[in-house]
Amino acid sequence: MAEDIAIKVENVSKLFKLPHEKQGSLKSAVVNFYKHKKGFELQKALKDISFEVKKGEFFGIVGRNGSGKSTLLKLLAGIYSPNTGDITVNGSLTPFIELGVGFNQELTGRENVFLNGALLGFNRKEMIKMYDDIVGFAELDKFMDQKLKNYSSGMQVRLAFSIAIRAHSDIVVLDEVLAVGDASFQQKCFDIFRDLKKQKRTIILVTHDMSNVERFCDRVLVLEKGKILNVTTPSKAASIYARLNIEEPGETKGSPVKKSESRWGTGGVKIEKVLLSQDDTTGNKIFEVGKNLKIDIELKRSKGYENTPVVCGLAFYNKDGVNISGPNNTGQPIKANAQKLTFELKELSFAAGDYDLTVALYDEEVISPFDVLDKQVHFSVISDHIVHGLIEITDVAWQSD
Amino acid sequence: MIRIPHVLSKKNRALLSELVRTDFKLRYQGSVLGYIWSLLRPLLLFTILYLVFIKFLKVNYGVPHSAVYLLVGIVLWSFFLEMTSGCVSSIVGRGDLIRKIRIPRWLIVISSSLSAVISLLLNIIVIAIFMVLNHVAVSADILWLPLIVLEMYVFGIGIAFFLSAAFVKYRDISYIWEVICQALFYLTPLLYPVAKLHWPIVREIIFSSPLSQTVQDARYTIVTHKTYTISQAFPSFWPRLIPFAVVVVTFLIGVSYFRKKSKTFAEDI
């Protein structure tokens, strides 16, 4: 194996036997044997996975629930063994699948520190040297001779974390340890990450929080259904991942108007079709931030309304039902006999997520509605970077004096 | 998985000592007398058996110092029993470690067996006290004792490896082992004078068990040379190797079964 490779995974597959019922006894084993029943189903958690992690790399593994990322992590950590294929690890490796593994509620804080330290590979002498630092970092000096069961969960996490960060192995494997703890604790985690990155240690982070991936990772592996979709840059991975999380687009040819409870109006002028497009590709339902979003609304005029001016209003709702924006064309030149209205958002600036669109047609005075289509058009926005808040404001300037 | 440099690595030694420490601390957690129970338990058992077999039934073992003779048997048997039945659930009991960190699996079984070794060492002190009280003459043969204990340990650990691995999938194992232990208890001449059994074939069966052989050898080396040992049960030389062969085969089967099964412990527990 080349010198600069930390972990090499070759053609790894992992099968799980899922028992039909709890097969915890000899009886069921014997019964199944005589009935020629297998008593279990095989599930392929990982299929033919190959990749390499370079030394000093901050490597991310992302995937949805059930994509096999935890299985892959446990294989890397040496907790599971693969059914086929090889995993070669170059250097010492410490997995953090959970903080405070082996913590025993009946032991005192002090005893737990030594036990946990031993599990991380420290001997007693080394632990005695580090003990004060660990306790100081966890801010638990007064509690060390109390049993762990008298600790709050926050105290336990703090203690576990301050032991965990002492691990000095070449490769660190982290599994969403960040999910626990309050903001200040997470901040501490981030600081540690930055330190680890500076020290050029190899880190593998398994997560589904894309903001952490973007913040720290050099390269990202995207897993889906036990297969590698891509190994790529964090920003590309973020958009691949976002696309995975959006329900598969079904009907892509516009949104034909249907009669329903969420539709009302006098019907003089009707919405025939709402068509969303980006970059000259129509029929999309997934749009990227920063690019334009075009909405074409085709109208159907009843007899007697052929030359009626129409005011069109839109409303964008996010998943929480919050109206992000409600543009309309009052004050704009309106062609009296228009057959099609086009709305164009020059630079899509919504935060990534799913949106519902309301389209409404009113008369010139905006008093009586011709046709209102309430939240019947759905689309999604993906982003290759994180937008904080509901919307990204562009055209801004920072100054520092 | 089991390679010599690996076994003795600094990391493993530290881990082992920490696990044993924890086991020992937790064992008598919440009991008033604590560690003293390690001594008290076999002593009380011994007192009962002493009263029943020596005082009331007046079993004649045909040896001097019959009390110490009885005690040595009880202590060694307790050691074997504690080690094997303690190890059965060791892997399952440490399931949280196995599922979440990389820890050599065999280390867990060894650490569990070492608490039985610690109890044994404490009990040997008790035996020594009794020997002094009973004016047992100590001969140079006592130097054999560590080897005899080692043989018993190897036998026990082989069984422990097998049982702990099998227990992951089949929880029936602990009940089955309980029954087998009961049988082994009577197969081993702990309470009855084996020399007085009429049929030679019975004595041969008894001495095919490493437990009988080690218990009687231990009594021979530390209590009295009048102990009936394997060389009397098997007049010719070759059959005397049977118990040793049993130990080696048990150990190899136990270790290889454990190695094979340990790959999937994390998912099976």
What is the model's pLDDT at position A177? 62
Query: How near does any CA of chain B get to the CA of A202, in Å?
Result: 18
C-alpha distance from residue B77 to each of B131, B189, B243 (Å)? 18, 10, 16
Q: Which residues of B touch A26 (CB under 8 A)?
A: 170, 172
| Contact flag B171-A93 (C-beta cutoff 8 Å) | no
Q: Taking a C-beta distance cutoff of 8 angstroms, is the pair B145, B222 a contact? A: yes
Residues of chain A below pLDDT 50: 247-259
| Contact flag B170-A106 (C-beta cutoff 8 Å) | no
- Kindly tell me if the per-residue pLDDT of B260 is higher than 80: yes
| Contact flag A81-B100 (C-beta cutoff 8 Å) | no
Q: Taking a C-beta distance cutoff of 8 angstroms, is the pair A75, A87 a contact? A: yes
In-domain check, residue B1: no
Query: How near does any CA of chain A get to the CA of B149, in Å?
Result: 29
| A124 in B contact zone (CB under 8 Å) | yes
Is residue A73 exposed (0-12), middle (13-18) or buried (19+ Cβ within 10 Å)?
Answer: buried
Among A240-244, B54-58, B228-232, B236-240, where is mean pLDDT lowest? Answer: A240-244
Where are chain A's structural domains? Answer: 5-21+40-245, 255-382
C-alpha distance from residue A147 to each of B24, B30, B64, B143 (Å)? 16, 12, 51, 44
Query: How near does any CA of chain B get to the CA of A229, in Å?
Result: 26
Q: Which residues of B touch A106 (CB under 8 A)?
A: 26, 29
What is the model's pLDDT at position A261? 64
| B141 in A contact zone (CB under 8 Å) | no
ipTM of the complex: 0.81
Mean per-residue pLDDT, B39-61? 88
Nearest CA in chain B to A24: B170
In-domain check, residue B7: no
**What number does CATH give the domain A5-21+40-245?**
3.40.50.300
Q: Which residues of B touch A27 (CB under 8 A)?
A: 172
C-alpha distance from residue A206 to each of A97, A179, A180, A195, A220 (Å)? 9, 11, 14, 18, 10
Q: Which of B9, B13, B94, B100 should be substituted to probe chain A, the one whose Cβ sees the most A Cβ atoms within 10 Å?
A: B100
What is the model's pLDDT at position B174? 94
Chain centre distance of CA B24: 17
Query: Can you tell me the distance from the alpha carbon of B244 to that of B167, in angstroms, rounded to the nearest whole number?
Result: 26
pLDDT band at B239 (very low <50, low <70, confident <90, very high): very high
Which has more pLDDT, A368 or B16?
B16
| Contact flag B17-A124 (C-beta cutoff 8 Å) | yes
Is residue A292 exposed (0-12), middle (13-18) or buried (19+ Cβ within 10 Å)?
Answer: middle
- For the four alpha carbons of B13, B19, B23 and B24, in that order, the dihedral sign comes to positive
One-letter identity of residue A317: Y
What is the model's pLDDT at position A252? 36
In-domain check, residue B201: yes
Query: Can you tell me the distance from the alpha carbon of A215 to that of A218, in angstroms, rounded to the nearest whole number?
Result: 9
| Contact flag B169-A27 (C-beta cutoff 8 Å) | no
In-domain check, residue B71: yes
What is the model's pLDDT at position A337? 82
Q: Which residues of B touch A80 (CB under 8 A)?
A: 264, 266-267
What is the model's pLDDT at position A11? 92
- Kindly tell me if the per-residue pLDDT of B241 is higher than 90: yes
Q: What is the pLDDT of residues B192-221, one digit of tens each?
A: 999 888 888 999 999 999 999 999 999 999
What is the model's pLDDT at position A181? 63
| A75 in B contact zone (CB under 8 Å) | no
| Contact flag A111-B97 (C-beta cutoff 8 Å) | no
Q: Which of A7, A115, A169 should be substituted to probe chain B, the one whose Cβ sees the most B Cβ atoms within 10 Å?
A: A115
Query: How near does any CA of chain A get to the CA of B100, in Å?
Result: 6
Which has more pLDDT, A383 or B20?
B20
Range of the domain at B161: 16-268
CATH of region A255-382, choose from 3.30.70.240, 2.70.50.60, 1.10.3720.10, 2.40.10.340:
2.70.50.60
Give the count of domains, chain B: 1
What is the model's pLDDT at position A367? 79
In-domain check, residue B258: yes
Q: What is the three-state SS of A204-234? A: EEEECCHHHHHHHCCEEEEEECCEEEEEECH
Query: How near does any CA of chain A get to the CA of B250, in Å?
Result: 22
**Closest Cβ opposite residue B97 in set A27, A81, A101:** A101
What is the model's pLDDT at position B23? 84
Nearest CA in chain A to B103: A119
